[in-house]
């Protein structure tokens, strides 16, 4: 009778201990080359956490995920998300005093949708829409204390259609039309008391033809001129 011996491989388990995560790298210890970030003295785009004035994460040398930038006084300067190195979603930017400077959204690295801009004191300065990184749609700018200063529309980053500006007291200051970013057609401006100040025409962004000037009491003044392609001819 024969005895059959079966041998089994012996697996040795070696306990290596916990894997140590790489320590975060300070922002000052990075360098940028061709749009990618590297640790100094290395040739491999960095992946890992970043600390210091800029705080966030790099993936293969590109910004990715939530990021925060701090001013030198410690106040937050900006915060928002990156995706594959491009800003994406809601972003907020701050003055050094901690108050909001402007806010809005990005899509694949370009401004998109409604944006708000604020003064150093926190007053709303202007607001308007972006499309694919360019101003597009209605825009409004404000005096201090909330009065409208200018309003109109943009198309593909240029003024288009009727625009109007206003004095501090709310009265109309000027109005006229734009085409492709240039003033065209009839334009008029007004004194703070509401009386007509100037009126005339624009052609391709230049004054063209007779321009009348009026005093605050509504009487025509002595400074009326005629223009040709923006140059006075009389």
Query: Which residue did the predictor score with more confidence, 230 or 166?
Result: 166
The yes-or-no verdict on residue 213 having pLDDT over 50 is: yes
At 23 the pLDDT is 85
Residue-wise pLDDT for 27-49, tens only, equals 999 999 999 999 998 999 999 99
Q: Which domains does the chain have, with CATH numbers?
A: 26-119 (2.20.110), 123-234 (3.90.930.1)
Q: For 5, which DSSP code?
A: P
At 21 the pLDDT is 52
Confidence of residue 57 (pLDDT cuts 50, 70, 90): very high
* CA atoms 226, 230, 233, 234: torsion sign: positive
Instruction: Find all residues with CB under 8 Å of 35, minimum gap 6, and list them.
Output: 61, 62, 85
* CA dist 169 → 122, 142, 189, 219 (Å): 21, 12, 15, 22
Confidence of residue 221 (pLDDT cuts 50, 70, 90): confident
């Amino acid at each position: 009778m024969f005895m059959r011996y079966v041998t089994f491989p012996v697996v040795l388990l070696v306990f290596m201990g916990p894997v140590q995560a790489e320590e975060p790298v300070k922002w000052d210890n990075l360098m940028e080359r061709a749009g990618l970030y590297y640790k100094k003295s290395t040739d491999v785009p960095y992946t890992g956490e970043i600390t210091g004035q800029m705080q966030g994460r790099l993936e293969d040398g590109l910004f990715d995920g939530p990021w925060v930038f701090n001013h030198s006084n410690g106040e937050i300067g900006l915060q928002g998300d990156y995706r594959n190195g491009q800003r994406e979603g809601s972003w907020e930017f701050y003055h050094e005093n901690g108050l909001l400077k402007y806010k809005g959204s990005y899509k694949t690295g370009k401004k998109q949708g409604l944006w708000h801009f604020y003064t150093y004191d926190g007053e709303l300065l202007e607001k308007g829409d972006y499309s694919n990184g360019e101003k597009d749609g209605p825009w409004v700018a404000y005096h201090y204390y909330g009065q409208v200063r200018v309003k109109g529309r943009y198309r593909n980053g240029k003024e288009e259609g009727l625009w109007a500006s206003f004095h501090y007291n709310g009265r109309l200051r000027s109005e006229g039309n734009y085409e492709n970013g240039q003033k065209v057609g009839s334009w008029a401006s007004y004194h703070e008391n509401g009386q007509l100040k100037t009126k005339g025409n624009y052609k391709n962004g230049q004054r063209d033809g007779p321009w009348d000037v009026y005093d605050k009491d509504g009487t025509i003044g002595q400074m009326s001129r005629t223009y040709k392609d923006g140059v006075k001819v009389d």
